[in-house]
Structure 1
Amino acid sequence: MVELVPLTGPAIAAHIGDLARLRITVFRDWPYLYEGDEAYERDYLSVFANTQDALVVLAIDNGAVVGASTGMPLLAEQDYVRAPFQKAGIDEAPIFYFSESVLLFSYRGQGIGVRFFEAREDFARQKHEWAYFCGVVRADNHPARPSDFVPLDAFWKKRGYAPVSGLTASFSWKDIGDSDETTKPMAFWRKRL
């Protein structure tokens, strides 16, 4: 059985290499199509190790990291994540932001995603009233969209999350095969804890 291991603070640092490679592997798939850059990933992930009240939940199978789920107080997040909340006049203090969940394909459909949400919600509930996350918005007719793709909307709704009308952010990354980064819209979802 896959074990979930919650980590905070300096304990996260020992896993940054594994987490960087995992994010690059998982985010290469639709809908992110992320080219990946290990140096960027290591810098990005080090923020979790150095941020008070940040959380990384590892999914470990026989000693190997096969998945991870992260989050931190919204007030500690990057400006591009916080900007839509500030523009909309939403109080950031009660919000815990779920940064990502990544899981190797062969481990999906076994309830690990549900366990990731439960672990982050339990942690966030200690000091926050709301959980928010966002997901990339890609065109339905995008040429890289797999014909059998099933959006995660139903999964998120089953967990009690709802889309936040009009609240979007812009994240930039380089898609596979592109020479430059492009900006992608990210739609927010939320749940009262």
Structure 2
Amino acid sequence: MHASPGIRVVSGTAITPYIDDLASLRTEVFRSWPYLYDGDAAYEADYLSVYLDSPFSVVVLAVDGDEVVGASTGLPLMDADAAFRAPFAEASIDPVEVFYCGESVLLPRYRGRGFGHRFFEAREAHARSLGGFAWTGFCAVERSDDDPRRPPFHRELGAFWRRRGYSPHPRLSVELPWREPGVGEVGHVLRYWLRPLERVL
């Protein structure tokens, strides 16, 4: 009997064997709305290197047999690219106290099975195990409501994130460039969502 899809958690250098899987998932999933990311191997290698360089990083893998069908990343904000840290100085939040939750990517056929919650739970548990963090947070790209590329039946994730205890911070955003299919490289505004990281006794 084929086992049900499950979760595997790896950290630090143990992430290395899964980098190609993560790059492939990011390129495939983020090509769709709302990211519209036209990825390439060189950008992926550079972006994902921070997770290999940080001994405190984590990747939560969704696995179906031998296939990696989803992944979710995290690391201390101080180990992330400087662009992600910069907005916090203006908001009077010490980036040392923030654990940054990176992307969550999951193949469409596996959605609706609770992996989103499990991705957050595992990353938050990892942050607690490290200690010293007051917040977990992530970035989400902001798109205009009247963007003609928005799919008619797209389900926004804001309600899900709020149920997880996250709220958008009005003063925390970052602008990042990436290539969009058929458009080329353009700048994108990503809003931070934060949640106080409570202790679990």
Q: Same fold (TM over 0.5)?
A: yes
The alignment status of 1:95 with 2:98, answered yes or no, reads yes
Q: Which of 47, 52, 61 is 2:50 aligned to?
A: 47
Q: Which of 158, 173, 180 is 1:175 aligned to?
A: 180
CA displacement 1:135-163 (0-9 Å, x = unmatched): 00011111210011121000001111111
The alignment status of 1:125 with 2:128, answered yes or no, reads yes
How much has 1:129 moved relative to structure 2? 1.8
How much has 1:92 moved relative to structure 2? 0.9
Q: Which of 160, 166, 177 is 1:161 aligned to?
A: 166
Q: Do 1:84 and 1:168's aligned partners in 2 also have CA atoms closer than 8 Å?
A: yes
How much has 1:40 moved relative to structure 2? 1.3
The alignment status of 1:68 with 2:74, answered yes or no, reads no
How much has 1:104 moved relative to structure 2? 0.5
How much has 1:41 moved relative to structure 2? 0.7
How much has 1:166 moved relative to structure 2? 2.2
How far apart, in 2, do the equivalents of 1:83 and 1:129 lie?
18
Instruction: Provide TM-score, normalisation by structure 1.
Output: 0.96
Please tell me the root mean square deviation across aligned C-alpha atoms, in Å: 1.0
Secondary structure of the residue aligned to 2:78 is: helix
How far apart, in 2, do the equivalents of 1:143 and 1:38 lie?
29
How far apart, in 1, do the equivalents of 2:79 and 2:6 lie?
28
How far apart, in 1, do the equivalents of 2:59 and 2:135 lie?
18
How far apart, in 2, do the equivalents of 1:135 and 1:182 lie?
16
Percent of aligned positions that are identical: 48
CA displacement 1:30-79 (0-9 Å, x = unmatched): 00000111221122212212212111111110110100000100111111
How far apart, in 1, do the equivalents of 2:168 and 2:72 lie?
20
Name the structure 1 match of 2:189: 185
Q: Which runs of 5+ in 2 are unaligned?
A: none
The alignment status of 1:107 with 2:103, answered yes or no, reads no
Q: Do 2:176 and 2:190's aligned partners in 1 also have CA atoms closer than 8 Å?
A: yes
Name the structure 1 match of 2:147: 142
Between stretches 82-91 and 25-34, larger displacement belongs to 82-91
How far apart, in 1, do the equivalents of 2:46 and 2:68 lie?
19
How much has 1:88 moved relative to structure 2? 2.2
CA displacement 1:76-120 (0-9 Å, x = unmatched): 111111111123231111110001100001111100010000000
Q: Which of 71, 79, 82 is 2:82 aligned to?
A: 79
How far apart, in 1, do the equivalents of 2:118 and 2:161 lie?
13
Q: Do 1:71 and 1:98's aligned partners in 2 also have CA atoms closer than 8 Å?
A: yes
Q: Do 1:30 and 1:146's aligned partners in 2 also have CA atoms closer than 8 Å?
A: yes
